[in-house]
Structure 1
């Protein structure tokens, strides 16, 4: 059954979901994520769960509580090795709950992960749970490894991220069940991603499973960053057992070179080619060579390859699947089954241009992707007027439907292709204009920041964006702008606003809690309506005056303004 586990339990659940979403976004995973809290009784009581959705939404069809049975969970725990009445076997109950959730919801499109530890809150042991879209999860690149006992093990970067988020959420829940400290899940998204990537790489580069070198990803990033006589490093390292019959060493190195000898590894990489790479086993380079045949790829799950593609960039491959790519120390999962053209573009079209020919626009976007140096496609609601306005920094054309070949050819020149909602071209070589509006990314080039300014101009003038841009960077990154905002709980936003106002009403506010609350408001500022912004700004002004001796008082000067793109449809009411 679904009951309230503690007052405002949904605030912690919302922060867990937001934190998981932030870390998974950073990892390049755009699948669905729902957060839940499940409480197992400490005494003779019914099982309880808090489902996704605010407390007013108890009849949510995604409720996971209705089919949970405590007797089944206890039976699974017994099969896993028994249970203790005084000292709960947290991990076994976690495994049992996860197994039970996935069994009773088979075929419903979700896969559930449970935190390895619980927190004792009142008369229940509470676990954080993340439900992830099963189709999206299964499309994530998987690393396979055969253990010493012959069993197959599967791992993805997405699973590593989810596991780490749940581990951290369990610590926050035990420390502060009110949940305010859990906002750090979002604030530490890159730190959590780096830890998850290190775990993933440790398993991938050590197929024996005995040496879990958790800094392997840093070692590889350092190798990729090392120049050799001014040249960037490009080459590969294949993980393989020297006794594997499918491995063909051309040269054996004796004694093997430790992978921690960075300069030696970088020098050896100069001898590699597309068909000959370094061979590594248990963190040591034992030779140069390759695999004997294509069939060998299916014969052993241990043939994982690290490909160095430039300064500070490398990729992790197994067979013909890219599992992971790392640039300047930041990891992202490898090639997805679906690109942003298939996932993000239809959503943004539905949001800003209902009635547009989505299939035709996707066809053009895929054709524009076949470029050698980056490209841009601009979809404008009034493309004819925009083509006139953007002259002379664009060439107008008679409205025409472009075939895929011509679209790809037009991307060879600088500037964007401008099309209308039906896909007809109105201008080529388009240079976008716009004003800086506090958004953008200084680490990206003009191909990314020009459309950010272009779209931001409409927002600065109090209008919704009038166009959609699809951006292809030279490094292979694809961005669809603007991004469609996700929905959040209205009650969660109210909770943050009320929590801030509470600090103005007490004589000695909890400064840590205040800082966490302000940080959460900044993270969710898009969802603040005009009345919310007024309340927050008044509260911040009051606190700024009363906390004149607080060194970190500068965070209380943030000016919140309603976002023109926000309306009540962005809430789960």
Structure 2
């Protein structure tokens, strides 16, 4: 069916918007933040000719032209208040190009305020691009994300220091990079007509964001680095006398309080990868290489990791081709084999408590959690098995384990036992019954060939166990998995509400394609909880719409039908 655009800016505006949305979503997912986002385009008439003073894409979405009626007036107010207006330069005034940039920034802020005040996205946080000209309009690309989700991630409070843009976090920089690329794409002919609006593969977008964020961190210390991501990768990817990289680098300003062990007579450039890799061998938990972001000037450490007026950043190198960026002890970014991402949390306490209580009916998990924390931080891969019948399991597996008199474990005991092959077997009170346990169990279809023996043997053991069991699998790379990985408990009414929302979208006249796709994706995301009747209804509605599209000369997308999950039962529903 032909598509009629009332608020017309250019012919591919709807395709452009959806492609920016999908590209930004993929980039966020690549760094470890999978969440639903929305993209909106807001264009302001820039020349004589266009019919509308302001256009909104999508024009049938929650935002309307009326929401931006006073945006330009507000932008003028913000421009008049901007500190850049107060700058006095001699002999010339503030350059026009700089003030043009300030004007774009303040109009973007006015757009952000208008969207936030509209109530269209009550749980959203809005990010707005500087804008680019297209079809007689100045078009802002706006990204709306889950405010609670992004607010829970580690980030600096402000993105600027002394009017210098330094970024807030890796996730914020991913969004900013996507917005910059969207603005750039609007200068190309018919943006949205091609396959890749953002102009690069997802990994390239993420690496560009990581480069800006890492350089911004160094700039917060007073340094002026360049491509610090590439420089550090060059260092940590080198071996020294056949040993993998392992050590610490501290990026620090001159005013930060330091404990200096040695001062280099001649500072060594960070770009001298081999020299820095050699120096990295002398670093450890107590001594780090000290750098201003461009050269290493000594060996030592910061006196305190508590924040002060002069920030410092630690580059932790745990293994080959891998490093982690930390500030005040908080991990901000992890780069492994060229892929930047948020550091994966070892294990969430709330998640651990939920699974242990549901599987083992344990109310107080304090002792068990202490043991798991010690295992996760021990520096070795290991398995902690908590069994409802640890005594019986220890006896059954005695031929392939070392039995102990039941006793509580200290943290150093946990670390010590993790050095030997096999699992550590605990009862629900945290007492150890056996170490070096070789787990048995029948092979199941639930294994993961990309994972190691610890993870897959734990899956087999848990699936075959005659008694309730929870296994905590600590990988050599520090990642922690919980077996079984139970789905979280949800409200039955929320599941039904998602099905009803899809029903409303599928039976609307006419069917709005984007709403149909979004509500269907929402149902698929919770498909584990659907019963037979709900699966059948969703499948029928979906197939009916695809058939209608084919009959109208459109394109149908066929997907595998939803089916009830055999593992689903009423225990996954919260009481209401």
| TM-score band, normalised by shorter chain | 0.5 to 0.7
The structure with more radius of gyration: 2
What SS is found at the alignment partner of 1:369?
Answer: helix
Question: Is 1:298 matched up with 2:304?
Answer: no
Distance in 1, matches of 2:274 and 2:482, equals 40
Distance 1:417-1:79 versus aligned 2 partners, 3 A rule: farther
Match of 2:269 among 258, 277, 288: 258
What SS is found at the alignment partner of 2:267?
Answer: strand
Asked if the contact 2:181/2:199 (under 8 Å) is kept, the reply is: no
Question: Is 1:331 matched up with 2:329?
Answer: no
Distance in 1, matches of 2:131 and 2:155, equals 27
Match of 2:28 among 2, 16, 24: 24
Please report how far the alpha carbon of residue 409 of structure 1 lies from its aligned counterpart in structure 2 after TM superposition.
8.6
Asked if the contact 1:257/1:286 (under 8 Å) is kept, the reply is: yes
Please report how far the alpha carbon of residue 183 of structure 1 lies from its aligned counterpart in structure 2 after TM superposition.
11
Please report how far the alpha carbon of residue 76 of structure 1 lies from its aligned counterpart in structure 2 after TM superposition.
3.2
Match of 1:440 among 441, 448, 465: 448
Q: State which drifts further: 9-18 or 428-437.
A: 9-18
Instruction: Note the alpha carbon deviations across 1:332-390, whole angstroms, 9 max, x for none.
Output: 33476xx642465578x59xx9798586568745632321333446789x999x979x9
Question: Is 1:476 matched up with 2:483?
Answer: no
Distance in 1, matches of 2:283 and 2:358, equals 52
Question: Is 1:287 matched up with 2:298?
Answer: yes
Please report how far the alpha carbon of residue 66 of structure 1 lies from its aligned counterpart in structure 2 after TM superposition.
8.1
Instruction: Note the alpha carbon deviations across 1:486-533, whole angstroms, 9 max, x for none.
Output: 999889999xxxxxxxxxxxxxxxxxxxxxx9xxx9xx8997979979
What SS is found at the alignment partner of 1:256?
Answer: strand
Asked if the contact 1:417/1:430 (under 8 Å) is kept, the reply is: no
Asked if the contact 2:56/2:65 (under 8 Å) is kept, the reply is: no
Asked if the contact 2:221/2:252 (under 8 Å) is kept, the reply is: no
Asked if the contact 1:342/1:362 (under 8 Å) is kept, the reply is: no
Distance in 2, matches of 1:392 and 1:12, equals 64
Asked if the contact 1:140/1:333 (under 8 Å) is kept, the reply is: no
Distance in 1, matches of 2:76 and 2:275, equals 52
Asked if the contact 2:166/2:219 (under 8 Å) is kept, the reply is: no
TM-score (norm 1): 0.61
Question: Is 1:129 matched up with 2:138?
Answer: no
Instruction: Note the alpha carbon deviations across 1:143-202, whole angstroms, 9 max, x for none.
Output: 9898456x89662112112223444566779866589757999xx544433332222111
Asked if the contact 2:54/2:65 (under 8 Å) is kept, the reply is: no
Distance in 2, matches of 1:10 and 1:363, equals 55
Question: Is 1:229 matched up with 2:241?
Answer: yes
Question: Is 1:314 matched up with 2:323?
Answer: yes
Distance 1:562-1:393 versus aligned 2 partners, 3 A rule: farther
Distance in 1, matches of 2:170 and 2:14, equals 28
Asked if the contact 1:15/1:182 (under 8 Å) is kept, the reply is: yes
What SS is found at the alignment partner of 1:331?
Answer: strand
Q: State which drifts further: 16-25 or 69-78.
A: 16-25
Distance 1:290-1:420 versus aligned 2 partners, 3 A rule: closer
Distance in 1, matches of 2:443 and 2:432, equals 25
Corresponding residue for residue 506 of structure 1: none
Instruction: Note the alpha carbon deviations across 1:460-481, whole angstroms, 9 max, x for none.
Output: xxxxxx9875432233212346
Instruction: Note the alpha carbon deviations across 1:192-216, whole angstroms, 9 max, x for none.
Output: 33332222111123447784523x2
- 1:356-505 alignment runs, 5 A limit: 357=361, 360=364, 364-365=368-369, 367-371=371-375, 372=378, 373-376=380-383, 412=418, 415=422, 429=437, 431=439, 433=441, 435=443, 437=445, 440=448, 442=450, 444-451=451-458, 470-480=472-482, 482=485, 484=487
Asked if the contact 2:372/2:472 (under 8 Å) is kept, the reply is: no
Corresponding residue for residue 156 of structure 1: 169
Asked if the contact 1:143/1:154 (under 8 Å) is kept, the reply is: no
Distance in 1, matches of 2:448 and 2:292, equals 43
Instruction: Note the alpha carbon deviations across 1:31-60, whole angstroms, 9 max, x for none.
Output: x54324254465546775759xxx9xx8xx
Match of 2:74 among 73, 76, 80: 76
Structure 1 residue runs of 5 or longer lacking an equivalent are 59-63, 459-465, 495-516, 540-555
What SS is found at the alignment partner of 1:162?
Answer: helix
Question: Is 1:114 matched up with 2:128?
Answer: yes
Please report how far the alpha carbon of residue 260 of structure 1 lies from its aligned counterpart in structure 2 after TM superposition.
0.9
Please report how far the alpha carbon of residue 300 of structure 1 lies from its aligned counterpart in structure 2 after TM superposition.
1.0
Asked if the contact 2:173/2:210 (under 8 Å) is kept, the reply is: yes
Asked if the contact 2:43/2:56 (under 8 Å) is kept, the reply is: yes
Distance in 1, matches of 2:425 and 2:15, equals 44
Corresponding residue for residue 37 of structure 2: 34
TM-score (norm 2): 0.61
Question: Is 1:202 matched up with 2:236?
Answer: no
Distance 1:323-1:8 versus aligned 2 partners, 3 A rule: same
Asked if the contact 1:357/1:422 (under 8 Å) is kept, the reply is: no
Question: Is 1:269 matched up with 2:280?
Answer: yes
Distance 1:287-1:431 versus aligned 2 partners, 3 A rule: same
Distance 1:367-1:184 versus aligned 2 partners, 3 A rule: farther
Instruction: Note the alpha carbon deviations across 1:403-452, whole angstroms, 9 max, x for none.
Output: 9989959974755578999999999846254547596253x421234456
Distance in 1, matches of 2:352 and 2:477, equals 20
Please report how far the alpha carbon of residue 402 of structure 1 lies from its aligned counterpart in structure 2 after TM superposition.
8.5
Distance in 1, matches of 2:373 and 2:442, equals 24
What SS is found at the alignment partner of 2:69?
Answer: helix
Question: C-alpha root-mean-square deviation of aligned residues, in Å?
Answer: 6.2
Distance in 2, matches of 1:289 and 1:406, equals 28
Of structures 1 and 2, the one scoring higher in RCO (CA 8 A, sep 6+) is 1
Asked if the contact 2:245/2:319 (under 8 Å) is kept, the reply is: yes
Structure 2 residue runs of 5 or longer lacking an equivalent are 46-50, 81-100, 504-516, 529-534, 547-556
Distance in 1, matches of 2:19 and 2:458, equals 31
Asked if the contact 2:240/2:278 (under 8 Å) is kept, the reply is: yes
Distance in 1, matches of 2:259 and 2:397, equals 60
Distance in 2, matches of 1:18 and 1:346, equals 35
Asked if the contact 1:237/1:305 (under 8 Å) is kept, the reply is: yes
What SS is found at the alignment partner of 1:253?
Answer: strand
Distance in 2, matches of 1:94 and 1:394, equals 66
